C-alpha cells in the first residue's frame, strides 16, 4: 500500500540545499503540496521554489525553539528532513546541534502535532571503514573513516529518531544516500578539489539527484515501513580513474603506484530498496547520466 498526501503539505527541510531544491519540483510535479523550510525567503532558490508552487516557511533549525518547531510542522501531512550541516566543515558541536539535536526536536514537534510519518536523509558514510564487502542495511557501522564530524552526527540522529519510534510511535524511514551528483550539482567538482590519496581503482558510490528523489518519495509513500532503513545508490560505483576521465584530468604515475586501501569504503547495496520500495535507478551508473545529458 502507498499513501499520497496532497490534502495537506509535506514539510521539506533543507529546501534550498542541493537535494531539497531538486526534490521539491519533483514532488510538486507529482501533485503533492509542499511546505518548504527556508532561512532566506528572498534567495534566488527560495523564489524559484515559490514560483514553482511551494509554500515557504522561514526558520533555521539551529535556532528554533519548541514553539518555532511546532509552527513549522503544524498542519503538515509528513516530513522529509534533509537539512544538515556538512559542506561548511562544521565542528563536532555544531554538527551534533544541527544534525542530531535539531532532528530530534523536529521529530518531537511532529509527534506533538500528530504528524508521524518522518523521512530522514542520512548518509552511506555512517558505515565507516574496515568492511570486506559491500554494506547492506544490516551491516555493522564501522569506525568513521571519512567525512569529519558529519557521519557521526548522522549516526546520533538515527539512534535518537529510532528511540522516538520505539517509545512514541514515530513512523520513521531512514534513507542513507550515497554521494549525490547530477542536475547541475557541482559536487563532483568540489570533491576533486579535496586532497585524495586514493589508488585510481578506488570507487565512489554515487546516486543521481533524480534517483535521490525517487528513493525519498518511495520511502515517504510506502505504508508499513516504520523503523526501516534503505540504501539509495547507483547500481555501480565509479572508480577514481573514471571520475578523472569525466573531469578531463590525467592520472599520474604516482597515483597508479599507490597502495589500494579500504576498497569497500562507502560501497553499499541497494538490494533492499529495490525489493521493498520498487526502487530502480533511472541512472544506474554515472556514465548513463553523462550519456543522457543529466550531469
SS3 content of the chain, % helix, strand, coil (to 5): 40, 15, 45
Cα–Cα distance measured from residue 170 to residue 161, given in angstroms and rounded to the nearest whole number: 8
Asked if residue 37 lies in contact with residue 79, where contact means CB atoms within 8 angstroms, the answer is: no
DSSP designation for 182: B
Q: How many residues does the chain have?
A: 295
Cα 7 from chain centre: 25
Identify the helix (H) or strand (E) that includes residue 117.
strand 117-123
* 3-state SS class at 105: helix
Cα–Cα distance measured from residue 188 to residue 114, given in angstroms and rounded to the nearest whole number: 40
Instruction: Give CA separation, 118 vs 13, 103, 161, 172, 195, in Å.
Output: 11, 10, 9, 5, 36
- Burial grade of 13 (CB within 10 A; 0-12, 13-18, 19 or more): buried
Asked if residue 124 lies in contact with residue 176, where contact means CB atoms within 8 angstroms, the answer is: yes
Cα–Cα distance measured from residue 199 to residue 176, given in angstroms and rounded to the nearest whole number: 25
Domains of the chain: 10-183+207-233+268-283 (3.40.50.720)
Give residue 87's pLDDT.
63
Q: What is the pLDDT along the chain (295 residues), one digit of tens a residue?
A: 677 776 899 999 999 999 999 999 999 999 999 999 999 999 999 999 999 999 999 999 889 998 999 999 999 999 999 999 876 657 888 888 889 999 999 999 999 999 999 999 999 999 999 999 999 999 998 777 777 889 999 999 999 999 999 999 999 999 999 999 999 999 999 999 988 899 999 999 999 999 999 999 999 999 999 999 999 999 999 999 999 999 999 999 999 999 999 999 999 999 999 999 999 999 999 999 999 999 9
Give residue 132's pLDDT.
95
Give the burial string for 99-135 (b: 16+ CB within 10 Å, else e): bbbbbbbbbbbbbebebbbbbbbbbbbbbbeebeebb
Cα–Cα distance measured from residue 75 to residue 115, given in angstroms and rounded to the nearest whole number: 8
Closest CA to 205 of 184, 191, 220, 218: 191
What are the grid coordinates assigned to 9, written together? 503539505
Amino acid at each position: 500500500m502507498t499513501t499520497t498526501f496532497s490534502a495537506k503539505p509535506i514539510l521539506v527541510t533543507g529546501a534550498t540545499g542541493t537535494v531539497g531544491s531538486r526534490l521539491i519540483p519533483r514532488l510538486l510535479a507529482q501533485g503533492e503540496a509542499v511546505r518548504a523550510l527556508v532561512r532566506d525567503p528572498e534567495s534566488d532558490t527560495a523564489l524559484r521554489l515559490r514560483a514553482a508552487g511551494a509554500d515557504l516557511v522561514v526558520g533555521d533549525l539551529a535556532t528554533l525553539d519548541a514553539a518555532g518547531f511546532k509552527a513549522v510542522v503544524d498542519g503538515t501531512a509528513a516530513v522529509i528532513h534533509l537539512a544538515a550541516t556538512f559542506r561548511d566543515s562544521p565542528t563536532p558541536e555544531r554538527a551534533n546541534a544541527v544534525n542530531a539535536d535539531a532532528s530530534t526536536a523536529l521529530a518531537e514537534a511532529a509527534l506533538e502535532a500528530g504528524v508521524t510519518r518522518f523521512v530522514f536523509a542520512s548518509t552511506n558514510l555512517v558505515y565507516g571503514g574496515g568492511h570486506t564487502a559491500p554494506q547492506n542495511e544490516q551491516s555493522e557501522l564501522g569506525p568513521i573513516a571519512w567525512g569529519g564530524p558529519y557521519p557521526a552526527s548522522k549516526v546520533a540522529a538515527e539512534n535518537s529518531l529510532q528511540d522516538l519510534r520505539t517509545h512514541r510511535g514515530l513512523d520513521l524511514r531512514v534513507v542513507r544516500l550515497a554521494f549525490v551528483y547530477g542536475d547541475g550539482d557541482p559536487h563532483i567538482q568540489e570533491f576533486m578539489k579535496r586532497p585524495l590519496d586514493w589508488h585510481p581503482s578506488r570507487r565512489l558510490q554515487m546516486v543521481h539527484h533524480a534517483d535521490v528523489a525517487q528513493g525519498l518519495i518511495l520511502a515517504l509513500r510506502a505504508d508499513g515501513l516504520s523503523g526501516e532503513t534503505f540504501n539509495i545508490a547507483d547500481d555501480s560505483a565509479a572508480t577514481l580513474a573514471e571520475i578523472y576521465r569525466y573531469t578531463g584530468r590525467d592520472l599520474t604515475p604516482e597515483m597508479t603506484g599507490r597502495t589500494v586501501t579500504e576498497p569497500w569504503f562507502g560501497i553499499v547495496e541497494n538490494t533492499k530498496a529495490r525489493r521493498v520500495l520498487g526502487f530502480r535507478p533511472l541512472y544506474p551508473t554515472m556514465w548513463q547520466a553523462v550519456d543522457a545529458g543529466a550531469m
